[in-house]
Amino acid sequence: MILHHPRVRPEPWKIRKQSLGAKWKWATPFIAVEWIGDWFAFLLSNWSFLEVLEYLGTFSVLVAVIFYFSESGDRVKQRHYQAWQVINTAQGKGGSGGRIEALQELNADKVPLVGVDVSSAFLQGLDLHGANLMRSDFSAADLRKGNFTSVDFTLANLNSANLRNAHLDRAKFVQTDLRNSDLTGASLVGADLSGAALDDSDLSNTDLNQVAWQHIKSMKGANIAGVRNATGGFVAWAKSNGAVDRPSGDE
């Protein structure tokens, strides 16, 4: 709320000048400037048009705030468009190319990443927890130490992906291509591997606690050396289906 207080009418110059006294005659020019200023301020304070302008200024700020929030949806769409542009422009190329930030931003805004193609990209430390990555292509991508907790990788291509020490707890790998992937030291607690192809993958030292492995499609040549917390006869089943126990350094 704008409050206006009326200014006191300045005294006439004669009275102001007399108040100086003989001792302060040298200050007369400065006092005169101040006196003129007082009169300007007094006259302007009684000019209603300036008060109207002040109200209009406040109103314009309110209008700007309203427009800012009303256009927030468009700004979000523009941000998403730019993120997708970064991802698609770098498709098939190595390196990051800003894709880590772009992917994480889209996922933070709950945008489905279905069918995204980041094959061969360098994406170490990527955090896409809870993302929808169905039919995505992460083949030959470097995803070391990434966070893919509760991610849906259904029908995704992770062939030759580097997932060393990645967090894959409760991830869904239904009919996922994990052939030749490196899962060394990864955490797959509670993951669903139903229909997944794990041929020639490296599962050494992987945490398989509570993993749904019973319907794995294939794992011929997969290395299960040192797998941890495997239950339900997984090791025996894996070996009977072509998996090998080859500690690091063995040929």
Task: Return d(Cα 23, Cα 21) in angstroms, integer.
Answer: 6
The residue written with tokens 């005169």 in the block is 32
What's the number of domains the chain is made of? Answer: 2
- The verdict on 241 and 169 lying in the same domain is yes
Q: What DSSP character marks residue 153?
A: -
For residue 58, the enclosing domain spans: 13-70
The total of other beta-carbon atoms located within 10 Å of residue 242's CB is 14
Domain-located, residue 75 = no
**8 Å CB contact between 235 and 214:** no
Domain-located, residue 108 = yes
- The verdict on 102 and 159 lying in the same domain is yes
Q: Model-level pTM?
A: 0.70
Task: Return d(Cα 242, Cα 222) in angstroms, integer.
Answer: 7
Q: Which H/E stretch holds residue 29?
A: helix 28-45
- What are 183-205's pLDDT values in tens digits? 999 999 999 999 999 999 999 99
Least confident of 70-84, 132-146, 155-169, 187-201: 70-84
- What are 90-134's pLDDT values in tens digits? 887 778 889 999 999 999 999 999 999 999 999 999 999 999 999
Domain-located, residue 122 = yes
Task: Return d(Cα 137, Cα 192) in angstroms, integer.
Answer: 18
